[in-house]
Amino acid sequence: MANFPKGRINKFPPPPTPSETTNNLNQPEVAPYVGTIDGRTLRATGRTSQFTTRISEDLHNEIKVYAAQHKMKLNELIEKSFVALKQIEN
């Protein structure tokens, strides 16, 4: 029969009794909303879908330069471009 060593002696004290613990399990899961507006809330745009495509490096550089010159983000440029394209076609 195998000779296994005896288990380690528990070095931790016993857990506290229920009367010694706090009543945190009865508290709400999340902190209540206090009405503060942080930077993330101000930057929220409602854009949640990712749009991924392959384009040439030259076109990508042109789009980035145009967006930077007009102080726009790439997604804003694409949105405005699509709106303009729809207006031209209609």
Where exactly are the structural domains of the chain? 53-90
Average pLDDT over residues 23-42: 74
Q: Is the pLDDT of residue 1 over 70?
A: no
Spell out where the chain has E strands: none
Q: Cα separation of 58 and 64, whole Å?
A: 10
Over residues 6-16, the pLDDT tens digits come to 777 778 888 88
Over residues 65-79, the pLDDT tens digits come to 999 999 999 999 999
Distances (CA, A) of 9 to 3, 15, 16, 18: 18, 15, 19, 24
pTM exceeds 0.75: no
